[in-house]
Amino acid sequence: MDGAGLGRAYDELLAEVAMGGFGPAPRGRLDAEQIVAHLAANDELMIEATEAVLAGSPYAYYNLETMHRPQVDALVAEYGGIDELATLLRSTSQKLMALVDRLGPAAGTPVDTHLREGYDLAVEGPLPWGRVLDLHARVHLPKHLAQLRTLRAVG
């Protein structure tokens, strides 16, 4: 796991959020606030998984966007705006990165993983936790960065 790469991915995404100017999402898609809330909710799941790995406890990681859509909508309602959600994401990402920095050899710990990134990626089974974090940095965060850029182009 490249912790620096994860940090760069978050920095780029948070810089995009800070630019603002997002338009509405196409029907059935997440808007900018929902994307940021989704990422913060996902960070919380990844924090739990990383803490479990560090503690030597078994854990199953599920990143299915539709699975936590009610949580995403609740976060949007609770935080009330893109700036507040960006502050939340900054906090959750920093906590996750601090835990990742502590992983060391534990990054090789297999974690039962269930995730989907559209047609780009589907995982159903154990993966080393460091690999899941790498996929987060190289696939998941860039996917949502691209979505945010599209929302600005539409708006």
SS3 percent helix, strand, coil of the chain, rounded to 5, is: 70, 15, 15
pLDDT in tens, 51-103: 999 999 988 888 765 557 788 888 999 998 999 999 999 999 999 999 999 99
Q: Report the Cα 3 to chain-centroid distance in Å.
A: 14
88 CB contacts (<8 Å, ≥6 apart)?
Answer: 36, 37, 40, 75, 79
What percentage of the chain reaches a pLDDT higher than 70? 92
* Mean pLDDT, residues 101-127: 85
* Mean pLDDT, residues 112-123: 76
- DSSP label of 108: G
Question: What pTM value is reported for the model?
Answer: 0.91
pLDDT at 118: 64
pLDDT in tens, 59-73: 888 876 555 778 888
Distance CA 31, CA 151 (A): 7
109 CB contacts (<8 Å, ≥6 apart)?
Answer: 53, 128, 129
28 CB contacts (<8 Å, ≥6 apart)?
Answer: none
* Mean pLDDT, residues 42-54: 95
> Is pLDDT at 115 greater than 90 in this prediction?
no
